Amino acid sequence: MEGKIMNHMNLKNLPESERPYERFLALGAEALSDAELLAIILKTGTKDFTSLDLARNLLSRCQGNLLNLYELSYKELTEQKGIGPVKAIQLKAVAELSCRIARTRRGYQLQMNNPKTIAEYFMEDMRHRRVEVFKGAFFDAKCNYLGEEQISSGSLSFAYVSPMELFRKALLKNAVMMVILHNHPSGDPSPSEEDVAFTERIAQGARLLGLTLADHIVIGDNRYYSFRENHRLET
C-alpha cells in the first residue's frame, strides 16, 4: 500500500504536461513516448520508483528497443527491479496481443503465391524464437488463407516434425494447399541439406493425399529463403 501511495504522490508532483495519463487524454496515444506507454501499462510503481521510472529502467535494459523487450521471458522480466509477477504477466500479455494484432492486419494481404507476403506475416513471430519452430499455413482451392498451426518446436538447431501430424492438420482445415515454415535461430535462413531432403519428402507425401506443398519458407533475422522463389520445389 505504501508503495502505491508514494507512487501516486510522485506522479502527482510531476508537471501535468509530463504525466502519462494526462498526456494520453490531451494528445492521444501516438504522442506518447515508449516509456510513457509502458508506464500506463504498468499502472503503479514502487516505494522508490514511479511507474515512469520503472518503464525507463526497463527500456534501458533493452537498449531502448521494443523488440528486445518483446523477447524478454516472464522470468527475465521478474528479475528486473520493481517488476513483480503481475506486471510481468501484463507486459507479456500486451506484447502477445500487439503481435497478434499486427499479424491479423498482415493476414489480409497474405497471398499463397507470393512468398514475400507469407514471410512478412510470420517474420516477427518466428525470427525471435530461440529454438527452431515448425509451422504450417493452409489454403483452400481458391488460395484463401485458412489459418496456421504450430506443428513442433525443438532445439537451437533442430525441430522434429511428424509429417502425419502436418497432414492431419491440413485435412482438418479442409486445406488443398499448404506452405510450411520453420526458423533458423542463427538468423541465417539458408536451407540445410536436411531442410532440402525434408521438403522433398513432404511434397511427395502431400501429393499422395491430394494436397499441394506450395512452398517451404525458412525464416531468418529479417531475411527469408523461399524454395518456391529459388525454383527448388515442384508444384
* pLDDT tens profile 82-128: 999 999 999 999 988 887 777 776 665 677 789 999 998 899 889 88
C-alpha cell of residue 54: 520503472
Q: Are residues 119 and 217 in the same domain?
A: yes
Whether residue 36 lies inside any domain: the answer is yes
Count up the domains in the chain and report the number.
Answer: 2
Q: Are residues 215 and 165 in the same domain?
A: yes
CATH of the domain at 168: 3.40.140.10
Which of these ranges, 4-18, 22-36, 144-158, 167-181, has the smallest mean pLDDT?
4-18
Picking from 103, 128, 151, the residue at the C-terminal end of a domain is 103
Which range marks the domain in which residue 222 is found? 111-226
Q: Is residue 231 part of a domain?
A: no
* Within-domain flag for 233: no
Q: What is the pLDDT of residue 68?
A: 80
13 and 74 part of one domain: yes
- Domain termination residue (choose one: 47, 73, 103): 103
Could you tell me if 77 and 122 lie in one domain?
Answer: no
The mean per-residue pLDDT over the stretch 123-150 comes to: 91
Q: What is the pTM of this model?
A: 0.65
Mark whether 83 and 121 lie in a shared domain: no
Distance CA 106, CA 117 (A): 8
Which of 82, 103, 124 represents a domain boundary (last residue)? 103
Beta strands 145-153; 133-139: pairing state: antiparallel
Nearest alpha carbon to residue 36 among 28, 118, 78, 139 = 28
**Do 99 and 115 belong to one domain?**
no
Is residue 88 domain-shared with residue 116, that is, in the same domain?
no
Same domain, yes or no, for 93 and 116?
no
